Chains A and B, each alone.
Chain A
């Protein structure tokens, strides 16, 4: 139990402070503490227990649930730098959880590996104007053993399928049982001449690692799992880290600044504790794993005369190259009930369009999955009215009753890195702890939208082949909301064009590491979390080696 876990006084220098307890931070905490190091994990949100998770969408989206209240976590958005950014109102535009486990608590748990091509597309396809499209400094083969660790240690269900990248080990548990939407996608794809496979998910179909199997409650997306079958780091990694006796999870700790010495080394992590009192934790090294928006904000907040544009930002790349993954959506209605509110979000995927094909005339790749709506609240108030349906009155009421007859064939595609798509500090908005708010500047690259339209055409084709009574592709509109925050502290060999090296060490500060969605060089095909965690397992191995050799 938590009372037995270790507590470090802030004045005592620990080996590592990890900022963030989500997909990457949870893995790093488990690995580094298991390797014998003392670790303090700073998490801005609370340490919630599974029995505190609720089937209450109002709490989740509007009443300070996992994403927190907008009044505490304001943020703003604009398309281009010449515009005034608009503060988010009512619904957050940046959707990530503030609690121990981070967004691994509320993700939909789609765990697609990247493929070898993802790491060297720039070499294969050439440059793309208006982008910073680049190869990764590492290959799929280097990352593969760590994908296998994610499969087995974090817990992924699945089954090999067409086009899969090489894998050294099978899945630990079989795929989740197919849902009606999965059957329709599978059969529609087959009739249209495409292939499909079971969706790999970070949700246990069978007990594994002393964790329970999924009971199909249907509240995965946007919600946290009450029984720990969803492989959040809260369920999979944090308990192992705490059992080492060397890892303290310090929740409700809002980091405001990373302090550096005159010699340019990180010394302390300054934060506001649960009572709002400023504290500072001394550390031999710091790992930022706060996500692709919070990590660059923290680097900007940690500027010094030695680091005038933000810590570790001599390249000027901190906060740049923000990527989301575009999701074209297509509704399909069928004559018999699907009851998509039961069980996991997606059970089948079509990956035939994974690779970019120059003959299409634009860059892009991705997949299509068969998925449910997010839940009753989204169905009633956000998804409706469907195209061609009245927004109120008897027509709306009839349409609401189509919930169980409807599914979405959703595309998941690439976003190109652009220097002009950024995370910066909002010059006016301030959060509840006095920190400047996160400002997003984001304009989809034309190729991202062109590929989204292409993917949507395939989804329409497949749903029609599946016998849908009605197919409604939603317009391809500019991005205005995201849960994916990628690329803002890119990994690379060239210190002038990247923030961290291939081992996740910042080029500028020898004892500062960054590993989260911000490390990604390209966006992958729309499901980045598995790769973020494979990177975290790999980073932990290298950081461990450096520490043991006295090279930090």
Chain B
């Protein structure tokens, strides 16, 4: 696992403040904060069984996710393991959505099975046929499509502890890193704005 080491250390915290009281306050909490940040994305998802979605539902959701954020020269939703995020979410804090998602996946499965008359699963169709079905579903079952898409995108960029965003694939796609502490300059357009580099070494 390529989890970044936490960018913030006890030394960093001491540098933060000229105030002794603030420093001692921070020192009490720094190890806990660092631990919280460090435990992101500690587990690999491949091979982990689904607990809420059935195997078929999981395979179809995974295939759907791979068309919503496809794999090309960079990894997409499939490699980020968003199906595992969805599986966990639908089994817990988004349980209210499960019937809707389950019905939508069922509808997609039936469309796929009817398409070639041989009962082929959505997940096993060629990508072009999958795209046809998604186009129809987006128009005819917009509520399912909205929530399925939302689950895919949540799973892509949510904190990896939530089961998706494997190897921070989603964060790397959008260019986000969760390093807890930054110093100016922050971006290209403010590069000449900070005459005196702020206290401590910039770690961007």
Give the interface of A toward B (CB within 8 A).
Answer: 49-51, 54-58, 62-64, 69, 71, 89-90, 177-184, 207, 210-213, 215-218, 226-228, 334, 336-343, 376-377, 379-381, 384, 391-394, 396-397, 400-401, 403-404
Contacts and interface: CB of A to CB of B under 8 A. Distances in A.
Contacts of B193: 177-178, 183
B93 A180 contact: no
B19 A62 contact: no
B1 interface: no
B67 to A, nearest CB: 7
Nearest to A399: B174
B183 A58 contact: no
Nearest to B148: A392
Given A338-B187, A391-B149, A404-B187, A379 B72 contact: no
B181 interface: yes
B134 A392 contact: yes
19 contacts: A50-B29, A51-B29, A51-B36, A55-B37, A55-B178, A62-B89, A69-B93, A177-B186, A177-B190, A182-B190, A183-B189, A183-B193, A207-B16, A339-B187, A377-B157, A377-B158, A392-B138, A396-B69, A401-B173
A337 to B, nearest CB: 5
Contacts of B134: 392
A89 B170 CA distance: 26
Given A178-B190, A217-B182, A377 B154 contact: yes
A340 B190 CA distance: 11
B103 interface: no
Interface stretch (B20-28, B51-59, B108-116, B117-125): B20-28
A379 B194 CA distance: 28
Contacts of A57: 158-159
A212 B17 contact: yes
Nearest to B31: A51
Nearest to A179: B186
A488 to B, nearest CB: 29
B94 interface: yes
Contact of A179 (B37, B69, B190): B190
Contacts of A341: 176
B4 interface: no
A180 B190 contact: yes
Contacts of A216: 181-184, 186
A56 B159 contact: yes
Contacts of B174: 376, 379-380, 400-401, 403-404
Contacts of A90: 96-97, 147
A57 B85 CA distance: 13
B36 A54 contact: yes
B104 interface: no
Contact of A51 (B23, B32, B96): B32
A182 B187 CA distance: 11
Contact of A207 (B18, B32, B37, B183): B18
Contacts of B179: 217
A55 B184 CA distance: 21
A89 B176 CA distance: 29
Contact of B189 (A180, A380, A401): A180
A212 B19 contact: yes
B161 interface: yes
A376 B187 contact: no
Nearest to B147: A90
Contacts of A404: 174-176, 187
B81 interface: no
Nearest to B159: A56
B154 A58 contact: yes
B187 A336 contact: yes
B42 interface: no
B33 interface: yes
A68 to B, nearest CB: 12
A343 B37 contact: no
Contacts of B181: 215-217
A336 B36 contact: no
B50 interface: no
B67 A337 contact: no
A222 B89 CA distance: 20
B190 A227 contact: no
A380 B157 CA distance: 7
A463 B17 CA distance: 36
A210 B21 contact: yes
